[in-house]
Each structure stands twice: as C-alpha cells, then as structure tokens.
Amino acid sequence: NLIDPNAPDFGPVMRRIAHKHVSLGIKSYEYPIVGHHLMWAIGDVLGEAVTPEIAAAWDEVYWLFGCQLIAEEAKLYALGGTDPERPWRKYRVVERLDESPEIFSLILAPVEGKTPEHHTGQYVAIAVDLPSGERQPRQYTISSGPRGDSLRVTIKRVRGVGGAPDGQVSNWLGDNAKPGAVLDVSQPCGDLILDESDGPLVLVSAGIGITPIAAIVEDLSRRQPDRQVRIFHADTSHRNHALYAHLRRQVLAMGDAKAQNWYEEDAESAPTLHPALPGYMDLSDIQIPSDATVFMCGPLPFMRATRRALLDKGISAERIHYEVFGPDLWAQNPDSAEDAG
C-alpha cells in the first residue's frame, strides 16, 4: 500500500484500528514502547536476516503508520471529549434484561454527567478486574439508538469449544453486572455508522449479530419511520433470538418495515409477525431492491455466504457494509478472504 498507488485504500483499516485503540485507552506515548519491543521481536525471530537496512525499513514503516494512528486517535479523543489519561468513565447498571438463556442486556447510565453522544452502530469497551487480578477490556456494540440518558449493551456469554476456556469477561459480567453495579466504560467508538439517506435499507444478521441491527432499527423508528426497511435474521431458535420483542415493537411502529426470520429449530411454532422459515437463511426467493444499502453482522461464514447471495441478486459490493466481531481485515477485502477459505 505504501509503494503501489493502485493498491486498495488502506484508510478504512487505519480508521478502524484507531477507533479500537481509543476504545482501549491507548496513549500516544505507548507507541515508542510497542515499537521497541516489535523491532526486538522481529530481530529475535528472523535473526541475521534482519540487516541494518531491513531494520531501518521496518522502523520507518512502523512510524509511518504510527504517526497516522496517533493523529487520528487524538482527533477521536477530542471529538469524544475524553482525556486520554483518563479514558474510562464510571457507569451504573440501572437495569438488566435477560434476552435469552445465554444473552443479556445492560442499561447503563453515567454515574456523573451526561451520556456522551454516539452514532448508531458504534460500540463501547467495558473493562473489568478479574479475580486473577488481571484487568481485561472487551468491546460490545451499543444495541440501542441514541437515547440521551442511557445506553444499552447486549452481551452473549462466550462458552469454550473444543477444550477452550469460557470467555472471561462476558461470563464475569453475566455473573456480576447486576442493577447497581458500577463499570468502567470507554467513549463510544466505531466507524460503521448508519447512513443518512432515505433509500431502501436491508439489515441482515445472525445470532448475536442482531445487536447493531437492533440499534439501527430503534434509531430509524424515531428519525425515519417511513423509510423502506427489510430485516432478515437467522438464529438457532426463536427462544435464542435476542432483542426480538424490541424489534417487533419498532417494526410495528414503522410505515414500511418488514422482517423475515429463519430458525434452525421449531420455526413453524415461532410467534413471529411473519411466519418464520426453517433452516439457514436463504435469500434466493426474497425480493431485495437493487438500490438498497445493506448492513450485515454475524459469523464470518454466514457473512461470506450472504454477501455472495446479495451479489448474485444484483446488489453492488459498494452497497454492502459489515460489522465484524473479531479481526476485521475481511471487511476490507472480503473477496480475498473468501478465496482463501
């Protein structure tokens, strides 16, 4: 990207990294520390292959990117009204809602001051002090639209698979984040933001990927209640469909919003507005406006398959936007990631 003017724009990736850094409270003076240890690690792994010239080139690249990130992060801190030396604010859990057996929502309000303004689709980090003494932050989507007095995060307990341990932070919050608890929360971050147009909008999700979709629908029900919106969601069952009651109320309040759900289990008995369909999401017989903007969130295999289905239906790649929970370089170049498996 630094030497090929025809390479894909790396700006979106840099902005996502900057937002993630701000949510974690990264400070500008930490870059030299990281750079020092990174260069040591490169030398340790590659050994004699790292000549002085190669080491100088790596150092130059690190600081080219580092200076861009420092400047972008300073801007984000300023826009959020956050002192980088004090990146965490105290929020109180004012309400807790169990959305499904493994998913819960927390309604959070600042202990002091007002809730910061945020854009629909953003996230916050929550930092907890674990029994081991470690302090661990995790990012969670703000699953509500801008409310002014509070924000909602919706969290799924992460269960270990194949011998892996359970998620530390999600399960600590599940056990301890009760009404009255006080948590350390970052400023809202994230660059996947609801567009301001009035064109058709398609919202596609699976599982816990419903969280940014719920925020978008809540916001639309207030600001653009007559916008054409189509909501497609896939889940294991209606019982595990988080935030369904919220979405149902907002869809009913809108003039041209429709939802279709797919459930792997008991679809025929699900009490949905429109009859749920069995199995995995299948868009082949679903009508989607070719000029629609698409927001999508869910597991990577789901998003790969759904993106391909949307492209096959004539939706241009530029109109398909993603929120990725985890490493998100796929969102920058999904074709390469898809080809790689």
Question: Do residues 252 and 233 both lie within one domain?
Answer: yes
Question: Do residues 212 and 333 both lie within one domain?
Answer: yes
**Is the separation of the CB atoms in 336 and 304 below 8 Å?**
no
Model's pTM, two decimal places? 0.88
Got the DSSP string for 46-82? HGGG--HHHHHHHHHHHHHHHHHHHHHHHHHHHHTT-
Residue 66 lies in a domain: yes
Residue 143 lies in a domain: yes
Quote the DSSP letter at residue 2. Answer: -
Query: Per-residue confidence at 341, pLDDT binned at 50, 70, 90?
Result: very low
Residue 94 lies in a domain: yes
Please name which of 211, 207, 220, 234 lies closest in space to residue 293, comparing C-alpha atoms.
220
Count structural domains, the chain: 3
**Crossing angle (nearest 10°) for helices 210-223 and 244-253:** 30
Average pLDDT over residues 327-331: 50
Please state, in angstroms and rounded to a whole number, the distance separating the CA atoms of residues 221 and 210: 16
Please state, in angstroms and rounded to a whole number, the distance separating the CA atoms of residues 127 and 137: 4
Q: Which tens digit of pLDDT belongs to each residue from 98-151?
A: 999 999 999 999 999 999 889 998 999 999 999 999 999 999 999 999 888 899
Please state, in angstroms and rounded to a whole number, the distance separating the CA atoms of residues 71 and 94: 36
Average pLDDT over residues 25-37: 96
Q: 234 by DSSP, 3-state: which?
A: strand
Residue 84 lies in a domain: no
Look at residues 34, 57, 79 and tell me which one is the last residue of a structural domain: 79
Question: Do residues 288 and 309 both lie within one domain?
Answer: yes
Q: Which tens digit of pLDDT belongs to each residue from 157-197?
A: 999 988 899 999 999 999 999 999 999 999 999 987 777 78
Domain CATH number, residue 176: 2.40.30.10
Question: Do residues 302 and 207 both lie within one domain?
Answer: yes
Percent of residues, the chain, with pLDDT higher than 90? 80
Question: Do residues 26 and 143 both lie within one domain?
Answer: no
Question: Do residues 122 and 178 both lie within one domain?
Answer: yes
Average pLDDT over residues 46-51: 92
Better-predicted residue by pLDDT, 84 or 333: 84
Look at residues 185, 216, 238 and tell me which one is the last residue of a structural domain: 185
Please name which of 47, 25, 43 lies closest in space to residue 35, comparing C-alpha atoms.
43
Residue 252 lies in a domain: yes
State the average pLDDT for the chain.
91
Domain CATH number, residue 263: 3.40.50.80
73 is catalytic: yes
Residue 1 lies in a domain: no
Question: Do residues 213 and 269 both lie within one domain?
Answer: yes
Percent of residues, the chain, with pLDDT higher than 70? 94
Query: Per-residue confidence at 325, pLDDT binned at 50, 70, 90?
Result: low
Look at residues 127, 156, 185 and tell me which one is the last residue of a structural domain: 185
pLDDT at residue 255 in the model: 95
Task: Select which of 31, 77, 91, 322 is catalytic.
Answer: 31
Query: Per-residue confidence at 338, pLDDT binned at 50, 70, 90?
Result: very low
Question: Do residues 219 and 133 both lie within one domain?
Answer: no
Task: Select which of 53, 62, 73, 244 is catalytic.
Answer: 73
Domain CATH number, residue 67: 1.10.490.10
**Is the separation of the CB atoms in 142 and 203 below 8 Å?**
no
Question: Do residues 209 and 306 both lie within one domain?
Answer: yes
Better-predicted residue by pLDDT, 97 or 197: 97
Please state, in angstroms and rounded to a whole number, the distance separating the CA atoms of residues 27 and 85: 8
Residue 159 lies in a domain: yes
Token readout for 267 is 């679809």
Q: Which domain holds residue 141?
A: 89-185
Question: Do residues 223 and 320 both lie within one domain?
Answer: yes
Residue 3 lies in a domain: no
Question: Do residues 269 and 152 both lie within one domain?
Answer: no
264 is catalytic: no
Question: Do residues 29 and 64 both lie within one domain?
Answer: yes
